[in-house]
Structure 1
Amino acid sequence: MHEDVERCVRAVQSKDARFDGWFFTAVVTTGIYCRPSCPVPAPKPGNMRFYPSAAAAQQAGFRACKRCRPDASPGSPLWNVRADVVARAMRLIGDGVVDREGVSGLARRLGYSVRQLERQLTAELGAGPLALARAQRAQTARMLIESSVLPMGEVAFAAGFSSIRSFNDTVMRVFALTPSQLRARASRSGGVGAAGLLRLRLPFRRPLCPDNVFGHLAATAVPGVEEWRDGAFRRTLSLPHGPGVVGLRPLPEYVECLLRLADVRDLSIAIGRCRWLLDLDADPLAVDEVLRGDEVLRGLVDKAPGRRVPRTVDPHEFAVRAVLGQQVSTAAARTHAGRLVEALGARVEDADGGLTHVFPSVADLVDVGDELLAMPRARRDSLRALVRALADGTVDVSVGADWDAARAGLSGLSGLGPWTVESIAMRSLGDPDAFVASDLGVRLAARQLDLPVSPGALGARSRAWRPWRAYAVQYLWATGDHAINRMPVEAAA
């Protein structure tokens, strides 16, 4: 979009927040780059330059605006909609793969050479993988500087910088302030040390219907791993450097995020996974515009616009839970998952609530015994086949996976039918067009709305909702009186 200069200028002049994250505006006379909705008076069009990423603007020598904080804008919805290599790379960079495995590791995951990958990212985003990861490190550093009282040396290494000097230079170059000045400017409610509480704000594009995403997560919460407490969805996180606990509370302007991490080096990864869980980088106006075009869905969209797709913080975890939930009630699925968690999940300490474990990894589940799988033999065999395929990499359902290859791999496993495959595609892979035509709730909604009920006919009818059929599912589910459609009563109170 950044190449459509006229459209970008109009967005900046109208302070249109819908385009935050789609592109970044740099002003040649000030050397500053902003989000489109920046509240300062719009510069002359001739002084504007437009970039597809914050990294590209930084690489061109511009520093971040201190008022609109463009690095904190919602991420581009393109990376969650597209399935090409650039989008997959951006999702993996957001999950910290470059910091953990380097550019060569990122390229290897995508099946490209380093040179091919750098060429594609630079052509579209104006920056290569290292620059994109560096921009993410700068954002993480700012969050730690402003939300904690960690010593600056710890902040530097937690954000992924290799030296104090590179940390100081990057912060000064991006924000035009030293780390100490940045902390002094911040209005903080108080932070604590490395093992303490971090309070952050997660922005999103409005509108947001919190009932569907938070209601779904609360209703399907696995005991010990997830809970609803004091108006917030809380859960444990399995992160590269240790476990974490997060609380997510929906507020009108942002989602409040309270994080306790074993190691603050995992901060950016934890935030990225929480944003993915809540689908906060979605473009609800684009989604709802398409769905409103169908007279059957128009009333549902108008009643509660901005529904999101509840995703997952761990693609493997959800894939396992999808098989556990085959042909059983929500309560039964929670019971099955809770049994595995209690027996095989690593324990965590939660001073603020009742969380006790992280969900077991696929490595922990490879040799799970029959006594923990109180289900028909065919489903036990399906679960074991899935766990083996995930553990040895035969099937990849990570955020950077190829959607078509993942579907093919899942479909080739015994006992994984269309409902399971599409559920995993919707919530693990994040495919916005995944459609669970055989889901009971979807079929009940179809009958109520005089839509075809058979999976084949309903799937054909749903083509009018492309590429947003996963969001259409959320509106269809909303026709039923199920706990997934509303936040627990204490939140409303």
Structure 2
Amino acid sequence: MPPVPVLAEPGPLEPGPARPLATTEPFDGATLFAFLRRFAVPGVEAHTVDGDVLGLTRTLRLAHGPAVVRLTWDGATLALAFGGHPDDEADAQARVRRLVDADAPVQEVATTLGADPYLADDVATSPGLRLPGGTDVAEAAVQALVSQQVSMAAAARCSAKLTEAYGEPVAVADGSVSMLFPRMAALAAADPETLPMPRARGRALVGLAAAVADGRLVLEVARPWRDLRTELLALPGIGPWTADVVGLRALGERDVLLGTDLAVRRQLEARGVTDPAAWSPFRSYATVHLWRPYV
């Protein structure tokens, strides 16, 4: 009888060869990476600058286990490398495409927003602007809630503390990232009184995580945004700003104007904008243009 083979323990995750990731053209990678760098959760996502090459490395929780992806942008080519179970690679690529808004209708956006005198200069200086998205809808929803009334830097620090307390470690070969963002079930079981945020927000976070974990709230890109927005607003502690950030960032909704956002309000007032409805159906892209001075 032949000996039973002994399976080796899986080693640290390491991205394989990088391959070009197709997008609509033009592609404003510099602005996109700047936004994503501000939103990044330390330990889960890391950014690098090597000469003219921008890099983004992050962990993912996929069907067959943890994975790591590395994106690079050299000013001309966006490339993606994947490390994880081969059967998860297609899912990882789809998630990254949402992260970078790879299929944005950039020509239609430019035609609509570029014709508006309040945004024409922005469109001209940032052709191919993208929505800074997310690789996991529930994770992005939690980050949106954490971001209420605090700076992006403070929100990233808070998300890092949540990850350290409730996430899971993962071995990545170069050590640039080392954690998986917490599962919703883990956050649902947390004591809101101990979370690194105001108590009301902690209770809202636990409530959101519990609704996702037990299936009362199904956060899926394919679901109608109007229904999802109504369900989000029905949860304690989630108002229009948080719901709309979820729509823009987590779900890639293209017509969300964050009119309740302080930075957006300042820009609308400074520019004398009286009819932002004219930017429909691409008000999400208008919002990102209005955010640009603060990134």
Cα displacement (A) at 1:464: 0.4
Q: Given the alignment of the two structures, is residue 447 of structure 1 paired with residue 269 of structure 2, yes or no? A: yes
Q: Unpaired runs of 5+ in structure 1?
A: 1-193, 453-460, 485-493
Which structure has the larger Rg? 1
Decide whether the 8 Å contact of 1:222 with 1:334 is kept in 2.
yes
Kindly tell me: are residues 374 and 303 of structure 1, through their superposed partners in 2, closer, same or farther at Cα, counting changes over 3 Å? same
Deviation (angstroms), 1:245:
1.0
Q: Does residue 296 of structure 1 match 2:150?
A: no
Residue of structure 1 in register with 2:161 after alignment: 339
Residues 254-333 of structure 1: pairs in structure 2 closer than 5 A: 254-261=77-84, 263-333=85-155
Q: Cα 1:370–1:410, aligned 2, differ >3 Å: closer, same or farther?
A: closer
C-alpha displacement of 1:473: 0.7
Aligned to 1:85: none
Q: Does 1:245 align with 2:68?
A: yes
**1:147-169 Cα deviation digits (max 9, x unpaired):** xxxxxxxxxxxxxxxxxxxxxxx
Partner deviation per Cα, 1:356-396 (whole Å, 9 max, x = no partner): 10101101111112464122221112112111111122222
Deviations 1:289-308 (A, max 9, x none): 00012111111111221100
- In structure 2, relative to structure 1, the CA distance for the partners of 1:372 and 1:254 (3 Å cut) is farther
Displacement of 1:285: 0.7
Matched, 1:471 2:285: yes
Larger RCO of the pair (alpha carbons < 8 Å, separation 6+): 2
Match of 2:19 among 200, 219, 227: 200
Looking at structure 1, the residues matched to 224 and 198 of structure 2 have their Cα atoms a distance apart, in angstroms, of 31
Alignment gaps of 5+ in structure 2: 1-12
User: Contact conserved, 2:141 with 2:246, CA < 8 A, in 1?
Assistant: yes
Give runs of aligned pairs for residues 60-139 of structure 1, distance below 5 A: none
Whose helix fraction is larger, Structure 1's or Structure 2's?
A: 1
- Identity of paired residues, percent? 36
Give me the whole-angstrom Cα distance separating, in 1, the residues matched to 2:19 and 2:164: 30
Q: After the TM superposition, which residues 472-487 of structure 1 pair with which residues of structure 2 at under 5 Å, given as runs?
A: 472-478=286-292, 480=293, 482=294, 484=295
Note the aligned Cα RMSD (angstroms): 1.6
**Equivalent residues in 2 for 1:11-90 (5 A)?**
none
CA apart distance, 1:195: 6.6
CA contact (8 A) 2:20 2:77 kept: yes
In the alignment, residue 41 of structure 2 is paired with which amino acid?
A: V
> Match of 1:423, as an amino acid?
V
Deviant stretches of 4+, over 2 Å: 251-254, 369-372
2:39 to 205, 220, 234: 220
CA-to-aligned-CA distance 1:439-458 (integer Å, 9 cap, x gap): 11111211221225xxxxxx
Q: 2:216 aligns with which of 383, 394, 404?
A: 394
Distance 1:211 1:265, change over 3 A: same
CA distance in 2: counterparts of 1:273 and 1:372, whole angstroms = 32
User: Residue 254 of structure 1: CA displacement?
Assistant: 3.0
> What is the aligned length?
279
Task: Say if 1:346 and 1:360, in contact at 8 Å, map to a contact too.
Answer: yes
Tell me how far apart the structure 2 counterparts of residues 437 and 395 of structure 1 sit (CA, whole Å).
Answer: 25
